[in-house]
Chains A and B, each alone.
Chain A
Amino acid sequence: KAGVTQTPRYLIKTRGQQVTLSCSPISGHRSVSWYQQTPGQGLQFLFEYFSETQRNKGNFPGRFSGRQFSNSRSEMNVSTLELGDSALYLCASSPGLYNTGELFFGEGSRLTVL
Chain B
Amino acid sequence: GENVEQHPSTLSVQEGDSAVIKCTYSDSASNYFPWYKQELGKRPQLIIDIRSNVGEKKDQRIAVTLNKTAKHFSLHITETQPEDSAVYFCAASNGNNNDMRFGAGTRLTVKP
**Interfacial residues, chain A to chain B (CB-CB below 8 A):** 31, 33, 35, 40-45, 48, 50, 55-56, 58-59, 90, 94, 96-103, 105-108
10 sampled A-B residue pairs with Cβ under 8 A: A33-B97, A35-B102, A42-B103, A43-B102, A55-B98, A96-B96, A96-B98, A98-B96, A105-B44, A106-B43
The one of B42, B89, B96, B99 in contact with A43, judged by C-beta atoms closer than 8 angstroms, is B89
- Is B112 an interface residue when CB atoms closer than 8 A count as contact? no
Number of residues in B with C-beta < 8 Å to the partner? 25
- Measured between alpha carbons, how far is A23 from B45 in the docked complex, in Å? 17
18 extra interface residue pairs, beta carbon distance < 8 Å, beyond A40-B104, A55-B99: A31-B98, A42-B103, A42-B104, A44-B102, A48-B97, A48-B99, A55-B98, A56-B1, A94-B97, A96-B98, A98-B96, A100-B96, A101-B34, A103-B46, A103-B100, A105-B43, A107-B42, A107-B43
- The A/B interface has a contact count, at CB < 8 Å, of 71
Interface flags, B59-97, vs A, CB<8A=1, else 0: 000000000000000000000000000000101000111
9 closest A-B pairs by CB: A42-B104, A43-B102, A55-B98, A105-B43, A56-B99, A48-B98, A98-B96, A42-B105, A56-B98
